[in-house]
Amino acid sequence: MAASDWLPDFLRARLQGRSTVVRALDNSAWLFLDQALRMAGGLIVGVWLARYLGPAHFGLLSYAQAIVGVVGACAALGLNAVLVRDLVHEPDSSDDFLGTAFMIKGAAAAAGWLVCGGLAWLLSPTDFQMHGLVLIVGLSLIFQIFDVLDVRFQARGEAYVAAWGRMAGFALASAARIALILWRAPVWAFAAAAAGEILLYAIGWLMIGWRRGLRVRGWHFQGRYARSLLLQSWPLTLSGLAIYVQAYIDQVMLGKMLGTTELGQYAAALRIVTAFAFLPMVLQTIAAPEITRAKRDHENLTEGDCTIFIESCLCCFWPWRCR
C-alpha cells in the first residue's frame, strides 16, 4: 500500500508527475513506521527485560552486545553504501554484485565471530558465562550477511519492502522475549533471542525476495569486483568503526572497570536516551539511492542541480511546501 494514497487530494495533485518524490514519500512512511514500532516496542520490552534480569545480568548481556557491536562494525566492511551505488548504476549486473558482496560479508562475519570470542577471553579470561554470551550474540554477525537483500531493495527504490521484513521479525522476536520473561528463562536465552531477531529479518527478506522473483542461486562471485568493492569501501569501514566504537566503548569500559551491575543500570538508561537516533538513518536510506539514480540518468547534473534534487527529496516530509 502506497503512503501517498492516504494524502489529501490537494497534496496528491502537487505530487502529480513527481515520481521520485512520491517514491521517497512511500519509502519514508514505511521506514518511519518500522523505526517507530521498533523504538516503542524495543523500549517497552527492553525496560521489562532490564527489570526481570536485574542490573547484574542485564549488564552482562549488554557487555556481550557491546563487544559484538564493535567487532560487527569491522565485519560490515562498509560495503552497503558502495553496493547501493553500483546496483543503481548497473542493475543488469546485480547477481554478480550481490553474490560477491554476500561472499565477502560471509568471510568477514566468520572471522568477526572468532574475534568476538577472542576479545571476550582477553577481557574476562575466567568468566566463562561471558564467553558463552558473546559467542551466542556473535551469531548475529553471521545472519547479518543477508542484509545484502535490504541493499537490493534500497537500490530499486523499494526500501519499504525490507521494512516489512524487519517489522515482522521484530514482532516475533519481541513476542519471544516476552515469553522468555514469563517462563523465567536464563540470561543466555535472551542472548539467543538477540541473535534470532537478526535471523528472522533474514528469513523475512528471503521470503519477500523469493515472492518478487529473487533467486539467490543465481548469484555469482566475481574476483575483480571484489577487489574493486574492498578498495572503495575501506574508508567507510574506518568511519563505521569509529562510530560504533564511540557508541559502545563506554559500555565495554564500564563493564571492565566497574562491573556488570553498574553497566546494567547505565545500559537501561542509555536505551531511553538513544530512542530517537533513527531519524538521520531513515533520511540517508531514502536519499542515497535516489541521488545516485538521478546522477546516473543525468550525467551532466551539476552541484547546484544536486542541491535542488536533494531539496525535492526532502520535501516528501513537508509535501505541502513542494513547488
Residue 254 has what pLDDT? 72
The list of the chain residues with pLDDT below 70 reads 1-29, 246-248, 258-260, 265-266, 268-323
Residue 12 has what pLDDT? 53
Burial class (CB in 10 A: 0-12, 13-18, 19+), 155: buried
CB-CB contact of 279 with 47 (8 Å): no
Give the DSSP letter string of 221-235: --HHHHHHHHHHHHH
Global confidence as pTM: 0.75
Please state, in angstroms and rounded to a whole number, the distance separating the CA atoms of residues 174 and 195.
12
Please state, in angstroms and rounded to a whole number, the distance separating the CA atoms of residues 236 and 81.
8
Find, among 180, 175, 170, the residue nearest to 203 by Cα. Answer: 170
Residue 318 has what pLDDT? 47
Residue 297 has what pLDDT? 63
Residue 271 has what pLDDT? 65
Assigned C-alpha cell, 98: 550481490
Assigned C-alpha cell, 197: 531477531
Half-sphere exposure of 234 (CA within 13 A, CB side): 5
Please state, in angstroms and rounded to a whole number, the distance separating the CA atoms of residues 132 and 60.
11
CB-CB contact of 64 with 314 (8 Å): no
Residue 193 has what pLDDT? 93
Residue 317 has what pLDDT? 46
Please state, in angstroms and rounded to a whole number, the distance separating the CA atoms of residues 214 and 128.
42
Please state, in angstroms and rounded to a whole number, the distance separating the CA atoms of residues 189 and 181.
10
Find, among 207, 243, 306, 270, the residue nearest to 43 by Cα. Answer: 270
CB-CB contact of 42 with 271 (8 Å): yes
Domains of the chain by residue range = 3-321
Sign of the Cα torsion 87, 228, 112, 275 reads negative
